[in-house]
Structure 1
């Protein structure tokens, strides 16, 4: 995929995977636009890359709409939406269950993705098509006993990408999920003890996978990013159909 001049909106762009992606895209001649609740991290990075930072709480639909409007006003359109903002939860369903922690995690990891898709679609359609990449997780493809709520909202993100891909294919809008295993980001802060010596991804490897996903031209796919594995879409088994 030729990225020079492409406008890419990145949520969760102030640090971690989002920041690394923005830096790589800028180096390839793309125009990354950063959104985050962390203005202290996002504004200096935007200044470094000579681009736009738009404050955005993905839990608020209106924030995503305003962010896309700002992108279009500044750069004339939108080519790629990388809906990457996410948090871990530390929330189980037993005695330690906290409804506020649960609601926050679901709002950021799932509602924020839904709101971002809705906000980005008009701008992508106006461009004649484009890409939406959702940050899922290997936790959305495999059991995650120590983070069940995180696994649940990431599984929903994967299902959303698989369903939206064919829904928008005829319009030239591709929707895919990027599914990293554990990467060196802030999300690991509360998980390190549980992970032990599990191999951790460098964020640059996740960016490599993101670029490979864009170049593939596929849609409705989930791309695992696992240490030592090639980048390719996950091959889901067919579900049982009805018997006559």
Structure 2
């Protein structure tokens, strides 16, 4: 999977999946804009001549428009957009989640990818086609893998890529989603740190058949595949990368009126 002559944007590139994917695109020859709200995005591009760091809010339309314009102005066009930025929204239950948290999670996790599709899509069409990838989650497939706002936002992303794939019909722009399971990222850092400090690291990922958590690079490889010509007939799909977790989604049931654990 080589991307020489291609330009890619990756949001949420300050750490985790976004950082791993942005670097992977760059190593495969693409000109890459690594975008993130955090200043850690500068670390992602450090020492790499074919990468540019941009600070931006993935859920702000003006920021997304400027990000796409930067790709066109600096590199002559845009071929790939990976809308990866997202927030977890915490572990609150549906009866405890305030409207303000619902609004923010949906703004970043669902409206963000919609804005990426809206503004990047036409520029990718101008290049003769390309790929848009959005990070969803196994939590968007069914209950048991995330909080209510997060899960609903990721379910929305899955439907969003299906709808967008249809609306790009005839343009040679493919739109797909990746649904990660438990991956070691900034979002899951607290859980991994706690497990290691308490000697329970072997419990991480124990619910999936591979009996382990995943690494950001394992998602990055799938993102590169979906952006490449090797996936030329893959469109409007949600690719699950979870070690087999969603083949059953085993969970401890929560009873009404009692706290989740």
Same fold (TM over 0.5): yes
Name the TM-score, length of structure 2 as normaliser.
Answer: 0.81
1:100 positional shift: 2.0
5+ residue gaps in structure 2?
196-200, 206-211, 246-261
The number of residue pairs the alignment matches comes to: 227
- Answer yes or no: is 1:109 the counterpart of 2:109: yes
Q: Could you tell me whether the CA contact under 8 Å between 1:213 and 1:223 is conserved in 2?
A: no
For 1:3-42, list aligned pairs within 5 A: 3-39=3-39, 41-42=40-41
What value does the CA root-mean-square deviation take over the aligned residues? 2.1
**Residue-by-residue CA offset, 1:110-143 (whole Å, 9 max, x unaligned):** 1111111111022112111110001111111121
Aligned counterparts of 1:25 and 1:223: Cα–Cα separation in 2? 19
| Cα separation, 2, equivalents of 1:75 and 1:19 | 20
The aligned counterpart of 2:238 is: 222
Change (3 A) 1:145 1:5: closer
CA offsets 1:9-57 (integer angstroms, 9 cap, x no match): 0111111111101111111111111111012x11232232222112210
Question: Partner of 2:204 in structure 1?
Answer: 197
Please say which of residues 135-144 and 152-161 is displaced more in the overlay. 135-144
TM-score, normalised by the number of residues in structure 1: 0.86
| Deviation at residue 145 of structure 1 after TM alignment | 6.1
Q: Determine if contact 1:137/1:180 at 8 Å carries over to the other structure.
A: yes
Runs of 4+ in 1 over 4 A off after TM superposition: 190-196
What is the rounded CA distance, in whole Å, between the counterparts of 1:102 and 1:82 in structure 2?
A: 23
Question: Which range moved further: 182-191 or 152-161?
Answer: 182-191
The answer on 1:92 being equivalent to 2:93 is: yes
